[in-house]
């Protein structure tokens, strides 16, 4: 059964009559790691938000776990990680991770146990009592991931989660994210600007083009699991990076990007 099923999803923004998404059809199976990649302004963040029911599509249907997206949101089927960690400064690391658990009505002991598991998972043991501003950007993002995973949502939505981090932190977190994905068996939809990141992480890359935002190509990533540093040196990895780059070029990415940079991203 598909975890996510999009049928003919279109989204237009009233202001400026821009067509952010047009005729999106996409099915995501359980346990997949799907990346959305495309130039600025191609609507990839909008697409992620419509899957998460943070934005409602103008037309088309979105089914998540066999339910309408809104019902899935009410059932707390989503974990979300933004580019900005969006941690609450007034809460400690432990309490930030426990936030969704509080809202689900978990009792204190159950919350404490899960927070402990989560800090171990993202390797932040010992930092439970720290406040977000005492952590580095990479550590903050790990807290954000732990928070998103804490209640074991069926679907993890990630909007350029490592976009603001330096290259080395980014690569380390990429590897950690893959470990977490394999340990938890969750389904992940991942928005990124980086071709290398998309290929390294995903089982499938969705290449999007802009104006209007639509799916240009789907590329299966058949690199073997588990992926490690050696994967980045695999000839097949380079072939796939090239394939995604060419797909982006065919979608008119290079022409669009500059224009979009001037106009500003839709997110």
Residues near other proteins (CB under 8 A) are 49, 52, 54, 73-76, 78-80, 82, 84, 86, 88-92, 99-100, 102-103, 131-133, 157
Nearer to other proteins, 45 or 209 (CB): 45
Shortest Cβ distance from residue 131 to other proteins (Å)? 4
Q: Report DSSP letters for the chain, one per residue.
A: -EEEEEEEEEEEETGGGEEEEEEEEEEEETT-EEEEE--TTSSHHHHHHHHTTSS--SEEEEEETTEEHHHHHHTT-EEEE-SS----TTS-HHHHHHHHHHHTT--HHHHHHHHHHHHHHTT-TT-TT--GGGS-HHHHHHHHHHHHHTT--SEEEEESTTTTS-HHHHHHHHHHHHHHHHHHT-EEEEEES-HHHHHHH-SEEEEEETTTTEEEEEEE--PPSSP-GGGGG-HHHHHHHHHHHHHHHHTTHHHHHHHHHHH----
Shortest Cβ distance from residue 92 to other proteins (Å)? 7
Nearer to other proteins, 98 or 260 (CB): 98
Shortest Cβ distance from residue 147 to other proteins (Å)? 9
Shortest Cβ distance from residue 65 to other proteins (Å)? 14
Nearer to other proteins, 104 or 218 (CB): 104
Nearer to other proteins, 127 or 237 (CB): 127
């Amino acid at each position: 059964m598909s975890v996510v099923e999009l049928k003919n999803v279109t989204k237009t923004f009233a202001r400026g009559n821009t067509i952010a998404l047009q005729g999106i059809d996409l099915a995501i199976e359980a346990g997949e790691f799907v990346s959305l990649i495309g130039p600025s302004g191609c609507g990839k963040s909008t697409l992620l938000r419509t899957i998460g029911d943070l934005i409602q599509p103008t037309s088309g249907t979105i089914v998540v776990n066999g339910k309408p997206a809104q019902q899935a949101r009410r059932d707390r089927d989503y974990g979300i990680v933004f580019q900005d960690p969006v941690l609450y400064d007034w809460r400690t690391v432990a309490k930030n991770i426990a936030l969704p658990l509080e809202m689900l009505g978990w009792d204190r002991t159950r919350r404490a146990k899960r927070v402990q598991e989560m800090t171990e998972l993202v390797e932040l043991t010992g930092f439970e009592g720290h406040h977000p501003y005492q952590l580095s950007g990479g550590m903050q993002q790990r807290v954000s991931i732990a928070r998103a995973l804490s209640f074991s949502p069926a679907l993890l939505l990630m909007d350029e989660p490592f976009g603001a981090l330096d290259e080395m932190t980014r690569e380390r977190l990429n590897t950690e994210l893959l470990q977490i994905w394999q340990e938890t068996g969750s389904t992940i939809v991942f928005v990124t600007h980086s071709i290398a990141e998309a290929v390294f992480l995903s089982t499938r890359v969705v290449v999007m083009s802009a104006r209007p935002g639509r799916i240009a190509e789907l590329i299966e990533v058949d690199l073997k699991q588990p992926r490690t540093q050696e994967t980045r040196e695999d000839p097949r990895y380079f072939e796939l990076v090239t394939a995604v780059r060419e797909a982006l070029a065919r979608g008119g990415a290079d022409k669009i990007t500059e224009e979009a940079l001037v106009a500003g991203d839709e997110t």
